[in-house]
Amino acid sequence: MKLTAMSKQLYYEDVATGSEISPLTKQPTTRQLVMWAGVSGDYNPIHYDKDFALDRGLPGVIVQGQLIGCFLGQLMTDWIGEQGILRKLSCSYKGMNFPGEALICKGKVNKKYIKDSQHYVECSLWVENPKGEKTVSGRAIVILPSSG
């Protein structure tokens, strides 16, 4: 696997309220769902056994919510760079996602402030499926370095 070097460091001063975070597209395969089951210990067959999922009234195997939560985690760690700290990440799973679908992770800056000499940025996050539906929504609080 090719590891990519981190992008340029983001500073508190670079961020403006209302600005968008560069989106991250993930396209989980059933193989990835199985890998996630292995590392997370979530062996619910609705995520890898199609017959089981159909029997439970689902349209097919579905992507684990927690895996998509990790995609939102990556959206933030990619954005904040090595010097940034992800302090808080919350995700609310609203709709089902299916393997093979391109999931676009997006975010927007809501607020920035300095507290106890730390530089905080609050963002709202969401995931869009190919139909443009927001299947996961979330929030994040990060601490960024200051260039000033």
| Residue among 91, 104, 105, 144 that touches other proteins (CB under 8 A) | 91
Among the listed residues 43, 24, 46, the one whose alpha carbon sits nearest the alpha carbon of residue 35: 43
Site string for other proteins, 10-49 (x = CB under 8 A): ----------------x-x---x--xx-xxxxxxx-x---
> Is 56 or 108 the residue whose CB approaches other proteins more closely?
56
Rounded (10°) CA dihedral 42, 46, 49, 52: 130
CA distance 147 to 118: 12
Is beta strand 118-128 parallel, antiparallel or unpaired with respect to 85-93? unpaired
Interacting residue ranges for other proteins, rule: CB under 8 A: 1-6, 26, 28, 32, 35-36, 38-44, 46, 56, 58, 64-67, 69-71, 73-74, 77-78, 82-83, 85-93
